[in-house]
Amino acid sequence: MKRILITGGAGFIGSHLSEKLLNDGNDIICLDNFFTGSKDNIRHLIGNNRFELVRHDIINEYLAEVDQIYNLACPASPIHYQYNPIKTIKTSVIGIINMLGLAKRCKARILQASTSEVYGDPQIHPQVETYWGNVNPIGIRSCYDEGKRCAETLMMDYHRQNNVDIRIARIFNTYGPRMALNDGRVVSNFIVQALKNEPITVYGTGSQTRAFCYVSDLVDALIKLMESNYDKPVNLGNPDEHTILEFAKLIIELTNSKSEIIFKELPSDDPTQREPNISIAKENLKWEPKIQIKEGLLKTIEYFDRIIHNK
Ligand SMILES: NC(=O)c1ccc[n+]([C@@H]2O[C@H](COP(=O)([O-])OP(=O)(O)OC[C@H]3O[C@@H](n4cnc5c(N)ncnc54)[C@H](O)[C@@H]3O)[C@@H](O)[C@H]2O)c1
């Protein structure tokens, strides 16, 4: 049994991680400022005496005795991280400094939820961890991308300078139940529109590609990385790549929807291709995703159907 702090623990990925680590017998401190997370996501865990919920913002210092820290606190969808870009970058940069300080003091191992956005609009495909990226430092996505890049820098510097035990997960698009409704992410957008028989909005021509990982696979990978000896960045995601248009058509089919597909202008700095090379994770974590896209989408559709129709 370990004492584990999960920042952003009431969010989409954080709530699944909290649940898994709690079920594995650990003591969990779930810390969240509820900006995009919600008590509904972790309501079923409240009442367990190994689960503690703390309302806190990681841009302020937090003190606790813990063995491990998973730092997930940060809005992840463009609508949310662009709502207050200065706050977003503070969360990534000041937040990780606070968490690294805590890790240093109590000699805890710390895992940072980094992102494929550190590669920006990548010029090599699929992306490998040694690629340094192609990121616009002054665009509307920069508060997120550059914040996450700076957080990786801080992780490496605390490691080199203070011997802090670090793990860096570069997470690629992940989907599943408890994604926020209407947060503009492709999967949740398409499913909600399809379930309501509303037009499905595809930005650009829909030929841009994405590869989506189901949340239970991602949570397994995060835990394997935390427990491994691998202290350099690792891509975590599902390499099964599809065009956005293919996703739209598949979701229409799986929901039996009457929705039509409409096309809108592509937002600026939207990457054209995104697919992880996961060789490092396969070799060092003995991990690869197990859930096929149809199976994951059906579970996600069932969740949104319940939420939308109050079932
Ligand atoms: N979902 C993805 O596809 C994806 C991809 C790459 C990286 N990530 C990273 O994984 C992490 C979790 O993402 P998610 O999809 O679960 O998003 P999410 O928005 O559902 O979760 C983020 C959580 O952090 C909380 N939070 C935000 N700012 C905070 C602050 N200053 N102090 C305390 N709590 C704060 C939110 O309330 C929320 O509960 C994020 O760091 C995100 O950048 C996610």
**Model confidence over 237-249: pLDDT tens digits?**
999 999 999 999 9
State the DSSP string of 92-140. Answer: HHHHHHHHHHHHHHHT-EEEEEEEGGGGBS-SSSSB-TT---B--TTST
pLDDT-derived band at 209 (thresholds 50, 70, 90) equals confident
- In the set 70, 144, 158, 214, the catalytic residue is 144
- Could you tell me if 132 and 263 lie in one domain? no
Residue 101: inside a domain, yes or no? yes
Residue 161 neighbours by CB distance under 10 Å: 9
DSSP 4: E
Active-site residue flag, 303: no
Residue 75 neighbours by CB distance under 10 Å: 24
- Could you tell me if 160 and 296 lie in one domain? no
How many angstroms does the Cα of residue 282 sit away from the middle of ligand 1?
Answer: 25
Q: Which tokens belong to 72?
A: 């997930």
How many angstroms does the Cα of residue 257 sit away from the middle of ligand 1?
Answer: 30
State the DSSP string of 221-273. Answer: HHHHHHHSS--S-EEES---EEEHHHHHHHHHHHHT--PPEEEEPPPTT--S-
CA-to-CA separations, 202 to 106, 135, 169, 254, 260, in angstroms, rounded = 47, 24, 29, 17, 10
- Could you tell me if 223 and 269 lie in one domain? no
**Whether pLDDT at 181 is above 90:** no
Residue to probe by mutation, ligand 1, list 74, 143, 188, most atoms within 8 Å of CB: 74
How many angstroms does the Cα of residue 16 sit away from the middle of ligand 1?
Answer: 12
* Residue closest by Cα to atom 18 of ligand 1: 11
Top pLDDT among 271 and 117 is at 117
- Could you tell me if 129 and 196 lie in one domain? no
Q: Which tokens belong to 101?
A: 């300080």
**Model confidence over 226-235: pLDDT tens digits?**
999 999 999 9
pLDDT-derived band at 82 (thresholds 50, 70, 90) equals very high
- Could you tell me if 204 and 158 lie in one domain? no
Tokens 């597909």 -> residue: 261
The total domain count for the chain is: 2
Tokens 């600026």 -> residue: 268
Q: To which H or E segment does residue 3 belong?
A: strand 3-7
pLDDT of residue 269: 65
Supply the range of the domain harboring residue 97. Answer: 3-175+213-236
How many angstroms does the Cα of residue 11 sit away from the middle of ligand 1?
Answer: 6
pLDDT-derived band at 199 (thresholds 50, 70, 90) equals very high
Q: Enumerate residues 6+ apart whose C-beta is below 8 A from 132.
A: none
User: Does ligand 1 come within 6 angstroms of the Cβ of 126?
Assistant: no
Q: Which tokens belong to 282?
A: 């396969």
Atom in ligand 1 nearest the alpha carbon of residue 183: 19
**Whether pLDDT at 176 is above 90:** yes
Average pLDDT, the chain: 95
User: Does ligand 1 come within 6 angstroms of the Cβ of 235?
Assistant: no
Measured distance CA(231)–CA(168) in Å, rounded? 7
Residue 280: inside a domain, yes or no? no
- Could you tell me if 298 and 232 lie in one domain? no
User: Does ligand 1 come within 6 angstroms of the Cβ of 248?
Assistant: no
* Residue closest by Cα to atom 17 of ligand 1: 76
pLDDT-derived band at 311 (thresholds 50, 70, 90) equals confident
Tokens 């409240």 -> residue: 46
- Could you tell me if 86 and 194 lie in one domain? no
Q: Enumerate residues 6+ apart whose C-beta is below 8 A from 250.
A: 242, 293, 294, 297
- Please list the residues that pair with 230 across neighbouring strands: none
- Could you tell me if 50 and 162 lie in one domain? yes
User: Does ligand 1 come within 6 angstroms of the Cβ of 296?
Assistant: no
